[in-house]
């Protein structure tokens, strides 16, 4: 998974986990830590901070704008953000972060592949 998508996935998983009473303190702390680091990146960008906050309650609507703001801020090159996002995903979704959950082998031309759980994809090939 490329870094920006991983950061978005971690934020989404953290937001969901943080709203549940069953989420552990470690998950909630990691989520808040990741948001704090990203807010620092967005320090001089109030619109980006707003997008980050709105993503928490409406991830589908704000995913694309947040991706754009993360890319503009260079979040994919920030080792601390990436490390915390990876840790958060491991804690929030331990089954998905286990090695070998998705084993994919592509031979020949591939169009429209999507790997993961609970995804939604629509393709139109001409």
Q: What is the tens place of the pLDDT at every residue in 15-56?
A: 887 777 656 788 888 999 999 999 999 999 999 999 999 999
Confidence of residue 106 (pLDDT cuts 50, 70, 90): low
Give the residue from 50, 37, 42, 30 showing the smallest Cα distance to 78: 37
Share of the chain above pLDDT 90, in %: 52
Domain residues of the chain, as ranges? 3-93
Confidence of residue 103 (pLDDT cuts 50, 70, 90): low
**Statement: the pTM of the whole predicted model exceeds 0.75:** no
For residue 41, the 8-state DSSP code is H
């Amino acid at each position: 998974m490329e870094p920006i998508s991983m950061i978005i996935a971690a934020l989404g998983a953290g937001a969901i986990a943080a709203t549940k009473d069953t989420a552990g303190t470690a998950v909630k702390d990691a989520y808040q830590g990741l948001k704090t680091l990203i807010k620092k990146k967005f320090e001089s960008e109030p619109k980006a901070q707003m997008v980050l906050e709105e993503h928490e309650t409406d991830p589908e609507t704000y995913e694309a704008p947040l991706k754009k703001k993360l890319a503009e801020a260079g979040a994919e090159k920030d080792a601390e953000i990436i490390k915390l996002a990876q840790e958060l995903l491991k804690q929030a979704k331990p089954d998905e972060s286990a090695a070998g959950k998705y084993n994919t082998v592509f031979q020949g031309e591939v169009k429209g592949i999507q790997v993961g759980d609970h995804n939604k994809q629509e393709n139109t090939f001409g």
